[in-house]
Chain A
């Protein structure tokens, strides 16, 4: 039987008296494409960060590829992050590296290879995100749209099992949305990743989602297929 990529068991998260998540249970299998829909950005963002092992839930357990996440083991936590493609509003580029170095860093570091040795793999991504013109610039010299493309290119170079994007529609202008779909399709075809995307974009849900998880008042209130969700939200989305 194929292992679930992600499993949330009774996840809860609170800061002080503010409760953001309560008893969250769901699983994600390889290739499954889930969209998270929530009125509360804080709740959705917390859940994404928990799934991305960036924050520790105050309750419950998280399993990635069938293994319970051990937050005390720093090495394991770093290894997990290598297998995740994660972009949220706080994601940034490393300022003192060029765009090319930013994209290549993880491969050069983990595989102990030179830039030339991974060039073929990079060329594909550089082409896909039209980064040729800005490759040797520093992040400070790149416009916000270019930065977004670089952020997603970094994740595309990784070999993730799980893709977590926080409102990616805000990172791409309407005309540039195809970059986003390019990476989503690439990761789906190359790696058969699981996807959790927090979005409020109807077009993204229409084109990409299979299943919708609706979060309301810190709880999962609905877990439905795309068509039923779109039908029920015809007026509000």
Chain B
């Protein structure tokens, strides 16, 4: 009894993996099925996850880039190597915090909405209605959200990196008068193809973990609406923890 309950506490990652495997399997098995409908939901998901948060993410990106530069300048002015601003910005923003902050925005804006939507769908009988039409809910609900969010996440990451660098440049220029050319050359010299590829890898894994956790929690609501608020808050917390773990693993693999 005790052993069973202990195992039950640790079966969550396995359940998530099984759910993720089922979504991936469905993508391949049902490729082409219901193409028009699925494509429409993917586009809606991209619009909701990426387009609707552009302004917000832009403001956050500029502020974040500026904050990073202020901190770097405060430290570097003591040793007089402000030419290395771009390099530090690349390390902090593009390699590490950029993907993480973009992912947190996706959790807050899109992930929790996804868990809520799917939770309501199970409570209100939408999932049953989908099944009664002979449609697999995993294909109709989960697959387009996974594909849409992954595409949106990669786009948001690129966008966030660009606006954060822009914010960083504006503050650098205001405080040190550094020309745009010098700043951008510093960035270009520091950034490698591997940084961009690793950023994309992170974005893909982050999107996958966010979608899998939020959908899993949403589907778990079942027929009880009282489970919904807990499912939403749990999905947000789990996603954040999942992001940090994946970030740690990817950074450990590629940068150590």
Question: A110 at the A/B interface (Cβ < 8 Å)?
Answer: yes
Whole-angstrom distance from the CB of B108 to the nearest CB of chain A?
21
Whole-angstrom distance from the CB of B125 to the nearest CB of chain A?
4
Query: Using a CB-CB cutoff of 8 Å, which residues 119-174 of chain B contact chain A?
Result: 120-121, 124-126, 128-136, 140
Q: Produce 1/0 per residue, A61-82, CB < 8 A to B.
A: 0000000000000110011111
Which one of B32, B124, B129, B134 lies within 8 Å of A110 (CB-CB)?
B134
Please give the number of chain B residues whose Cβ is less than 8 angstroms from any Cβ of chain A in the complex.
22
Contact A78 B126 (CB under 8 A): no
Question: A131 at the A/B interface (Cβ < 8 Å)?
Answer: no
Cα distance A80–B35 in the bound complex, in angstroms: 21
Query: Using a CB-CB cutoff of 8 Å, which residues 43-100 of chain A contact chain B?
Result: 74-75, 78-82, 84, 86, 90-96
Cα distance A211–B129 in the bound complex, in angstroms: 30
Whole-angstrom distance from the CB of B222 to the nearest CB of chain A?
13
Contact A78 B136 (CB under 8 A): yes
Contact A81 B36 (CB under 8 A): no
Question: B229 at the A/B interface (Cβ < 8 Å)?
Answer: no
* Chain A residues, Cβ within 8 Å of B131: 78, 81
Question: A114 at the A/B interface (Cβ < 8 Å)?
Answer: yes
Contacts A78-B135, A106-B134, A109-B135 hold; do A94 and B36 have CB atoms under 8 A apart?
no
Question: B197 at the A/B interface (Cβ < 8 Å)?
Answer: no
Question: A236 at the A/B interface (Cβ < 8 Å)?
Answer: no
Cα distance A198–B203 in the bound complex, in angstroms: 53
Question: A230 at the A/B interface (Cβ < 8 Å)?
Answer: no
* Chain B residues, Cβ within 8 Å of A110: 33-34, 134-135
Which one of A80, A84, A108 lies within 8 Å of B37 (CB-CB)?
A108
Main secondary structure of the interface of B (DSSP, over half): helix
Cα distance A75–B139 in the bound complex, in angstroms: 12
Question: A105 at the A/B interface (Cβ < 8 Å)?
Answer: yes
* Chain B residues, Cβ within 8 Å of A94: 121, 126, 129-130
Which one of B120, B135, B136 lies within 8 Å of A95 (CB-CB)?
B120
Q: Produce 1/0 per residue, A106-117, CB < 8 A to B.
A: 101110111000
Contact A92 B133 (CB under 8 A): no
Whole-angstrom distance from the CB of A158 to the nearest CB of chain B?
8
Q: A74-B136, A94-B130, A95-B124 are in contact. List 6 more A-B contacts (CB 8 A).
A: A75-B136, A78-B135, A94-B126, A106-B135, A109-B133, A154-B133
* Interface pairs (19), CB distance under 8 Å: A81-B133, A86-B132, A91-B125, A92-B124, A92-B128, A95-B120, A95-B121, A95-B124, A95-B126, A96-B126, A106-B134, A106-B135, A108-B34, A109-B33, A109-B135, A109-B140, A110-B134, A154-B133, A158-B133
| 3 pairs of A and B residues whose beta carbons are closest in the complex | A82-B134, A109-B34, A92-B125
| Chain A positions near chain B (C-beta within 8 angstroms) | 74-75, 78-82, 84, 86, 90-96, 105-106, 108-110, 112-114, 154, 158
